[in-house]
């Protein structure tokens, strides 16, 4: 069914009895041309673009839980293209352009809201760094405006400008940045892939990868063996574990990242705001909840849940920046498992095993990457050539040291990116 305003009206008048399931629930076939392991944002968008752009529909997505139950449904929904380094810059720029047409492409309301993002700075040195980043964004063809303190105060009057420790000097404004409804992105890609013939197979855990003479032959799953010519690993925080099934040791550590939401409030924060002296970022959801997050837990873990030390750490930063949030009641917090790479940038590449491909290392920023990641990974899997805007995301940069993209300039330490 094609979704439209007319359908909403018609279904409303006829008791909402005409809506069908958004996708099928097929059993796995014995063999496919392509298997995608992982039904998160990146796996689903890869499947969608394989079908939509390359006409490859003998494809299945294998998801151990339910579609969208991983990080794609746990993030703070920020979408931006404000990277500074060549390699990242053109990729995220490409992604933002795909976001801007995504609702038409998918015929699905992903609630993409370009409400603007402001990165605050608190020293002369930070201002210089943001000025440089803004210039890189403009050179890439994206938008960036350096705001002084008064301009920020006019836009964000609720911040504490008088704090003596980290006074606000200004902000880098990225008007096309914003948010999107994270689950809807998974659902929109799932529906689009399903309509083109891709099998989306839930409750199907991959437990082994079959390799013969250096070539992938298929996978073992909790629902039996499935043969395939090509297999893509797109499992975010579980990347090291699944790659180990093919005998690979990845340069990835898994860390928990937490997020928090308050009770619903009247509109109060109408941008995405990030604090430059503490890792804290905030926006307000369309339901009214203040959605915010901060740092990783700093130690590797597979526990997708929150804990009190990080709640204290994040809330302290939030209270320093905007004391008004102390009046809001926190509704819940949660965690997701992040696939952290040593330079903070992702991997989209072939592996040394013929027919086995890898997409991982998204760190904090994989939600905004979903459209471009799927687009470029599908291109790589279909053509065996890297897409132009993802050509820098090679796996071997961690063995050769050539082409590292350390956006934060923190060095080779997974938990600092
Ligand atoms: C709290 C939090 C806040 C974040 N905020 C932002 C943000 O504001 N902006 C941003 O850009 N990014 C953000 N991110 C990062 C972003 O959410 C992730 O980088 C991105 O979602 C990861 O890719 P994915 O959607 O494919 O992952 P997932 O949704 O985790 O998908 C991977 C899937 O693989 C499945 N899987 C794993 N092992 C197997 C197996 N053996 N067999 C079959 N299936 C398997 C999992 O069940 C899972 O569904 C945030 C993340 C978190 C946790």
Contact status, residue 372 vs residue 93, Cβ threshold 8 Å: no
334 φ, ψ (degrees, to nearest 5): -160, 170
Q: Does the C-beta of 374 come closer than 6 Å to ligand 1?
A: no
Q: Does the C-beta of 242 come closer than 6 Å to ligand 1?
A: yes
Contact status, residue 270 vs residue 115, Cβ threshold 8 Å: yes
Q: Does the C-beta of 260 come closer than 6 Å to ligand 1?
A: no
Half-sphere exposure for 372 (CA within 13 Å, toward CB): 32
Q: Does the C-beta of 310 come closer than 6 Å to ligand 1?
A: no
Q: Does the C-beta of 43 come closer than 6 Å to ligand 1?
A: yes
What pTM value is reported for the model?
0.97
CA of 281 to the centre of ligand 1 (A): 19
Q: pLDDT digit of tens for each residue in the chain (417 aa)?
A: 899 999 999 999 999 999 999 999 999 999 999 999 999 999 999 999 999 999 999 999 999 999 999 999 999 999 999 999 999 999 999 999 999 999 999 999 999 999 999 999 999 999 999 999 999 999 999 999 999 999 999 999 999 998 878 999 999 999 999 999 999 999 999 999 999 999 999 999 999 999 999 999 999 999 999 999 999 999 999 999 999 999 999 999 999 999 999 999 999 999 999 999 988 999 999 999 999 999 999 899 999 888 999 999 999 999 999 999 999 999 999 999 999 999 999 999 999 999 999 999 999 899 999 999 999 999 999 999 999 999 999 999 999 999 999 998 888 889 888
Contact status, residue 59 vs residue 34, Cβ threshold 8 Å: yes
Q: Which of 154, 167, 160, 173 is nearest to 115 (CA)?
A: 173
Q: Does the C-beta of 240 come closer than 6 Å to ligand 1?
A: no
Counting Cβ atoms within 10 Å, is residue 300 exposed (0-12), middle (13-18) or buried (19+)?
middle
Counting Cβ atoms within 10 Å, is residue 389 exposed (0-12), middle (13-18) or buried (19+)?
buried
Q: Which position has the token pair 């704090």? A: 163
Q: Does the C-beta of 339 come closer than 6 Å to ligand 1?
A: no
Atom of ligand 1 nearest to the CA of 80: 11
Q: Does the C-beta of 346 come closer than 6 Å to ligand 1?
A: no
Tokens of 8: 């909403």
Tokens of 246: 């093919």
CA of 410 to the centre of ligand 1 (A): 23
Contact status, residue 295 vs residue 278, Cβ threshold 8 Å: no
Q: Which of 177, 95, 112 is nearest to 346 (CA)?
A: 95
CA of 335 to the centre of ligand 1 (A): 11
Contact status, residue 44 vs residue 62, Cβ threshold 8 Å: no
**Cα 121 from Cα 167, distance rounded (Å):** 9
Q: What DSSP assignment string belongs to 86-144?
A: TTHHHHHHHHHHHHHTHHHHHTS----B---EEEEE-SHHHHHHHHHHHHHHHHTT---
Residue-wise burial string across 182-214, b where 16 or more C-beta atoms lie within 10 A, e elsewhere? bbbbbbbbbbbbbbbebbbbbebbbeebbbeee
Most ligand 1 atoms within 8 A of CB, residue of 200, 293, 336, 374 to mutate: 336
CA of 237 to the centre of ligand 1 (A): 7
**Cα 323 from Cα 383, distance rounded (Å):** 53
Q: Which position has the token pair 């929904």? A: 77
Q: Which position has the token pair 């760190």? A: 363
Most ligand 1 atoms within 8 A of CB, residue of 40, 180, 240 to mutate: 40
Atom of ligand 1 nearest to the CA of 258: 1
């Amino acid at each position: 069914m094609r979704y439209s305003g007319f359908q909403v009206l018609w279904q409303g008048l006829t008791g909402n009895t005409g809506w069908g399931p958004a996708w099928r629930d097929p059993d796995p076939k014995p063999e496919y041309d392509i298997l995608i392991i992982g039904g998160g944002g990146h796996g689903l968008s890869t499947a969608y673009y394989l079908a939509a752009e390359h006409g490859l529909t003998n494809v299945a997505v294998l998801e151990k839980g339910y579609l969208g139950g991983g990080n794609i449904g746990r993030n703070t929904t920020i979408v931006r293209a404000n990277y500074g380094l060549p390699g990242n810059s053109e990729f995220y720029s490409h992604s933002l352009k795909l976001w801007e047409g995504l609702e038409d492409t998918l015929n699905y309301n992903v609630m993409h809201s370009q409400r603007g993002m402001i990165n605050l700075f608190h020293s002369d040195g930070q201002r210089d760094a943001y000025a440089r980043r803004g210039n890189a964004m403009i050179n890439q063809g994206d938008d960036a405006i350096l705001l002084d303190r008064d301009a920020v105060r006019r836009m964000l009057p609720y911040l504490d400008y008088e704090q003596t420790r980290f006074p606000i000097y200004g902000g880098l404004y990225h008007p096309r940045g914003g948010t999107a409804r994270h689950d809807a992105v998974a659902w929109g890609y799932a529906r689009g892939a399903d309509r083109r013939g891709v099998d989306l197979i839930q409750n199907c855990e991959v437990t082994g990868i079959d390799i013969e003479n250096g070539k992938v032959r298929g996978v073992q799953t909790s629902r039996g063996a499935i043969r395939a010519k090509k297999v893509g690993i797109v499992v975010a925080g579980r990347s090291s574990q699944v790659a180990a099934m093919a005998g690979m040791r990845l340069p990835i550590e898994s860390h928990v990242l937490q997020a928090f939401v308050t009770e619903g409030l009247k509109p109060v924060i109408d941008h995405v705001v990030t604090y430059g002296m503490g890792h804290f970022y905030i926006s307000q959801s369309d339901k009214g909840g203040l959605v915010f997050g901060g740092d990783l837990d700093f130690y590797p873990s597979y526990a997708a849940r929150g804990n009190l030390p990080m709640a204290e750490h994040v809330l302290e930063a939030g209270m320093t920046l905007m004391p008004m949030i102390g009046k809001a009641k926190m509704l819940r917090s949660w965690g997701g498992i992040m696939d952290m790479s040593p330079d903070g940038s992702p991997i989209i590449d072939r592996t040394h095993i013929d027919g086995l491909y890898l997409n991982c290392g998204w760190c904090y920023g994989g939600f905004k990457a979903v459209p471009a990641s799927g687009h470029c990974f599908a291109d790589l899997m279909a053509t065996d050539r890297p897409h132009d805007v993802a050509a820098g995301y090679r796996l071997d940069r961690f063995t050769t040291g050539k082409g590292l993209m350390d956006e934060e300039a923190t060095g080779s330490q997974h938990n600092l990116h």
